[in-house]
Structure formats: structure tokens, C-alpha cells
Structure 1
Amino acid sequence: MEIMMRSPLREQIQIIVIGASAGGVDAIRTIVVGLPATLSAAVFVTLHIGSHKSDLPWLLGRLGTMSASHAVHGEEIRAGHIFVAPPDHHMTVESGKVCLTKGPRENMARPAIDPMFRSAARTYGANVIGVILTGGLNDGTAGLYEVKAQGGLTIVQDPSDAVGASMPKSAIANVAVDYVLTVPEIAPLLVQLVAERSPAEARKGGDQATGDSQEKGMTAQFTLNHPVAVTCPDCGGALRRSELGSLTQFSCHIGHVYTAEIMLAAQFLTMERSVEQAMRSLSERAELCRIMMEKAQEGEAISPARWQDAMSEAFDQTAPLRELLTREWIHPDGDGIVGQGSVITDLA
């Protein structure tokens, strides 16, 4: 049996992982301003940016405290530096290094918060401090649960202080959170916790292998759970249900992962695209009928009235479809609705 050797780096460094979505830039900047360059911890930040260009490292670096950069695959973890997940890549924390992957989206996001939290917790155990900030829905809750389960400390932004309260509320509802604070209170606490905690003493668990073994663990869990009568919105594959504390998750063989709440929103987006395609087909049918109506007026065999009736029929059938899209849809978490103009814009 292969024996995993603990590297000195793993014994000496502490890890702070921060996840945010809508409204997160200002919150992250406020925290970073309060972190000294001498902080004996490495800071990892995932913000939901999808594949869009991000200037977050530049914004954080110019604050004049800690250095910041987009993470580079394989680079060494070092204290006093902020590693930011680059666009369209998951960032994970392995033993002594940073890893990037364009693996399947989790909770409709890439980069997603859960992979970063999960990998840090499984590698560094009680040396991890997890921070959940403002955002919609609940990416990060499952990852924060892992941080807590591996002996790490958990901090959540006070929902009343957040632009998007859903992420903090979900974390508080599903994880035994250690601290609930406003954003200005978080940096002083992080500095205090890092100074007070001895990494060697803090270690508790966290020696689980990462990388391929994590994927094997996911596959093993997948095969043990029975499929549910719901398919993956991303790839159409069968989904398996799993429970993480009080949190329900769904995953497919490809690796797409959803919480139940984000699955609901993903289903709406799938329905929205299908309805929009139907509306487009009806509009194209109406346009074809209009062209043929004009041609019939020039003497074709079929009367212009028949083409006009077909055109009107196509237009009329778009009305119920438009109503389906524009109505308000109930979101079970009670923190809002899912409907046109409000569909997970922060999980691009």
C-alpha cells in the first residue's frame, strides 16, 4: 500500500478559501484591504465569472496589501498571496500546489466554489478556513460542509449585509457555521485566527488523497445510488441523488453536480431555451406564410386568405408560449422567484 508522505509545506501553511457570486467583488476587496502581506496563510478566491474576462487580481493587487494573481496550473502554494480562479476554470487545492481544470460545471458554474472548498478540506483538513460571501442560490454550501467535516473553521457573511442573501442563508441553514459576520468584520477575524492557530496542532484529518482518488470516490458513490427520474440539464445523462448533511445533491457520470435548488433553476433555463426555439419556429412559419400570401396575391392557385389564416394562426400560438416565459415562477427557498430577467445571472 502506498504511504502518503506529509510535505513540510502542508504542515506549516494555512489555507483560506473564499467563495462569492453576485455582489462579491466589493465584499472581497473589503476583506483583502484588511489582510496584511505578512499573513502566514495562502488565500484562494473563486468568484462566479463564467468565461468572461476578469480583472479581479489586478483590482486586489492594487490595494497594496497582499499580492494577487490568476492561478497557474501546478504553481506552488505560498503564504501571503491571493490565488484567484481564472475564467472558465475550476481551481482546486492539492498538496503544495494549485490545480486548474476545465472539468464539468458544478451548480451551473465554472469556476465553481464547491470544488475549491472540497479539495482544500480534503487535503489540508483543519488548516482550512472557509468563507462564504454574497451570492444567489447555494454554490459553496456543500464545500463549506466539507470544510467543517474535516475540522476546518467556517465563516459566513451576515445575510442582512449581503447583496445576494441566498448563498449565506443556505450555508447557515445547512452547516454548523462558526461565525456569521458583516464583511468589515471578517478580515480582522481571519488575521486573528491565523495568528492563534498552529498549523501542526490544527491538523485533523485532511490526509485523504486528492485528484484521481476523488474522482474514483465520486464514481463509486454514483454507482451505489439509484438513478432518479430526472436528467442532467447539461448533458441529458441519468442523475444520482446524494445527501450531504441536510443538503440534497444530484450528479451524473460526466461529473456535473447540482444542488436541488440550482437543479430547479437549471431546469427552468432548459425549458426557456426549448420554448424560445418553439417561438422561433412559429415566427419563421408566420414569415413564410406572409411571403406566400404576397405571392398568392399575384395569381398563385392557393388564395391569399388561406396563407393569411395560416400566418395569423402561427402568430396566435406564440402568445401562450410568451406567457410561459414571462410569468413569475416560484422558487422554493422563499428568497425570490425564477423568471424572465431574474434567472441566475450570476452563474453565467
Structure 2
Amino acid sequence: MRDSERIVVVGCSAGGVESLIALVKGLPPELDASVFIVQHLSPNYRSALPEILSVHAPFPVKHPADGDHIEPRTIYVASPDHHLLLDNGHVLIKRGPKENRFRPSIDALFRSAAYSYGARVVGIVLSGALDDGTSGLWSIKRLGGITMVQLPTEAAFDSMPLSALSQVEIDHCLAAHDMGASLDSLQVPAQVDTSNAITVVERAGLETSIAGDGDAFRKGIMKAGELTPFTCPECHGVLVQIDEGGLLRYRCHTGHGYTRPALLSELVEKIEETYWISMRSLEEAAMLLEHTADTLSEQGNSSAAALFHEEACIATAESRELRETLLRRKRFTGENLFGEEKTD
């Protein structure tokens, strides 16, 4: 792999396939770069993205294997349920802790590229919900790379581009079909602000390692930020708060990572799940109480049967109340609560 070769990392989520097709259609056949793509995927199905993009791309598209040597003019696509990471000339395919509830993680790819390749990296955020990719773009920018986002007005889902634009210094905001051609003429920034760069590099290296195999506590994640009173919705581990120039995110001692909107969305899902579990438990209790009341009645113990029947009615009423609360409850998400903040 030549020192002049670009490392282009691309992240997308909802509505991202159309944007990816437009991007790869515009890639110059002679582009001196390797391209790496993370799209959020279901872990339960095979990804057809390499086949879809191969129809439009000027060079090969594939799912890499762990340890593959990085080849020029090749497009590498993350496999379902595996992080796609870069490590000094090689691709790593790992099942480390999820970040923002996803594996593969856009931020994990971006951070690993920034850590290994610095100013050679171009980070691109396309269509998607919430704010995935923003933290990774911040690392790319701080370590000398170039940042690029899709025009929010063109993106099917504009939350990811808008988040990046509001939180990171973005070098280029373009339509997806114009991005490929622009890569051929990009220049490394003449001046790069490297204040605190050592800290950024060290943290990028730490979190890339965590994305690879977890073991966050032993590796020192608890010293990477400020301890919070919050716990991880995934594993209930304590969360540390990491500040990236005003962008706040969280990571637990087992390695799961969240931005604020992603953490809120996960907590909301857990709250709703708890409601349903409570309702189910009340219904089961009501059935058991009724069954016990019937048994006692058959045995001639009518007074005890009446008490059990009364308790069954109470449990049934509480279950119905919970059901009505769930049906009335307005769904709120990290996206609609943080949307205004992103567009300022």
C-alpha cells in the first residue's frame, strides 16, 4: 500500500443504499484510493450490498475477511454483525461491543482509519437517522483528515448529515453523485490544528482496540472520561462521559458506546420493554389467582376463594391500566428531541 493512497471511509444508515450507488457511480476508475463502507444492517440476514454496488462501481466490491491486506482501487463493505476496522495496511473484521446499538459501527470504522492513517483519510457521512458518524468524523478532522457530508436536502434521511454539520468542521457538503469525482482532486489540508492531538490519537487507539475485542475495563476506558450516574442499557455497566469538543458521548466498562441521542433511544426502548413485561406479569398473576380461587371454591372454602378472586380482579385492572398507558403513550426518540439542536 503506497503512502500516497487515500483511505476513504463511508457511513450511512436509513436511505443510504441510493446514496451509495450515486457515490460509487462517480468514482474515477483511476482513483488512487481504497474505499470502506459501513451501512447499518440487520445481523440476521446476508448483505447483498457488494452485489448491488458492483453493478455501478468502477472497481471490485467485496466483503473482506479478517486480516486481508488492503488493496488499492477496491471497495470493502462491512459484513452484518461485524465491525469493519483498519489497522496499518490490513482489514480487521471483529465482533466487539456494539456502538450506538449497531455492529458494524460507522464511528468505529472512522476512528480506526483516523488512528492508522491520519491526514490520508477522507470521511464521508451519507443519509441516515440520529447522529452516527459524527464522532468518527470529529476524530478524522482532529487528526488531519478531510470531512465530507451529503447535502441534507438530498439525503432521504437528513439527521446524520445535519448532526455532522452542526458538530464538526466539514470541508465539503456535496450531492452524493458529485462526491466520487471530487475525491480525485482533494488536497491534504495545508495546516492542521494538532492541539491535544496526542490525546485524540491515544483515545482513538483505545476505542479501536475495544471495538475489536472488548475488554474495555482492563484497557482503561474508565480513565478516558468522567464517571456518570448513568448505566448502560445493554449490560447495566457504569458509563463514562467522553467530551469531543462539545460532542458528548458515553461508553461503559464492558465497551458499549452511545451518543446522547442513541443512549436516549435505547433507554426509551428499555422503558417500553419494562412496561410490557410488567403487564405480562400482572396477567399471569391474575390467571394464577383466578385458578387458585376456583380450586378453593371447589374445595368448599368460599371465603378464601373470594379473597383470591378479589386479588385477581385487582391484578387484571392494573394490567389493563398499563396496557392503556402503553397505547396512549407518545413515542419520543433521540432524533426528535435532538433534531432542533442539530439544525442550529
How far apart, CA to CA, are the structure 1 residues paired with 2:295 and 2:338?
50
How far apart, CA to CA, are the structure 2 residues paired with 1:72 and 1:204?
35
**Counterpart amino acid of residue 178 in structure 2:** E
Deviations 1:286-307 (A, max 9, x none): 2223434554564552466544
Is 1:17 equivalent to 2:9 in the alignment?
yes
**Bigger shift: 297-306 or 67-76?**
297-306
- CA apart distance, 1:10: 4.9
Report if the CA contact (8 A) 1:10-1:95 is conserved: no
Aligned match of 1:40 in 21, 24, 32?
32
Report if the CA contact (8 A) 2:126-2:150 is conserved: yes
Report if the CA contact (8 A) 2:8-2:124 is conserved: yes
**Counterpart amino acid of residue 147 in structure 2:** T
- CA apart distance, 1:135: 1.2
Is 1:228 equivalent to 2:220 in the alignment?
no
Label 1:121 to 1:225 Cα distance change in 2 as closer, same or farther (>3 A). Answer: closer
Q: Equivalences for 1:60-79 in 2 at 5 Å? A: 60-63=53-56, 65-79=58-72
Label 1:93 to 1:224 Cα distance change in 2 as closer, same or farther (>3 A). Answer: closer
**Percent identity for Structure 1 against Structure 2:** 34
Deviations 1:135-188 (A, max 9, x none): 111111000001111111111112222222211111111001112222233223
Structure 1 segments unaligned to the other structure (5+ residues): 1-8, 338-348
- CA apart distance, 1:16: 0.7
What value does the CA root-mean-square deviation take over the aligned residues?
3.1
Question: Residue 328 of structure 1 corresponds to which residue in structure 2?
Answer: 330
Describe the SS at the equivalent of 2:248. strand
Describe the SS at the equivalent of 2:3. helix
Is 1:276 equivalent to 2:276 in the alignment?
yes
Describe the SS at the equivalent of 2:70. coil
Q: TM-score of the superposition, structure 1-length normalised?
A: 0.83
Q: Equivalences for 1:129-278 in 2 at 5 Å? A: 129-193=122-186, 197=187, 215=209, 219-220=219-220, 222-223=222-223, 225-278=225-278
How far apart, CA to CA, are the structure 1 residues paired with 2:311 and 2:170?
61
Describe the SS at the equivalent of 1:119. helix
Describe the SS at the equivalent of 1:239. strand
Describe the SS at the equivalent of 1:160. coil
**Counterpart amino acid of residue 314 in structure 1:** A
Describe the SS at the equivalent of 1:12. coil
Aligned match of 1:117 in 96, 110, 113?
110
**Bigger shift: 105-114 or 211-220?**
211-220
Question: Residue 312 of structure 2 corresponds to which residue in structure 1?
Answer: 311
Label 1:177 to 1:302 Cα distance change in 2 as closer, same or farther (>3 A). Answer: farther
- CA apart distance, 1:273: 2.1
- CA apart distance, 1:67: 1.2
- CA apart distance, 1:321: 2.7
Q: TM-score of the superposition, structure 2-length normalised?
A: 0.84
Question: Residue 103 of structure 1 corresponds to which residue in structure 2?
Answer: 96
How far apart, CA to CA, are the structure 2 residues paired with 1:133 and 1:252?
27
- CA apart distance, 1:31: 1.3
Label 1:70 to 1:178 Cα distance change in 2 as closer, same or farther (>3 A). Answer: same
Label 1:289 to 1:242 Cα distance change in 2 as closer, same or farther (>3 A). Answer: same
**Bigger shift: 324-333 or 65-74?**
324-333
| Count of residues in Structure 1 that have an aligned counterpart in Structure 2 | 325
Report if the CA contact (8 A) 1:91-1:111 is conserved: yes
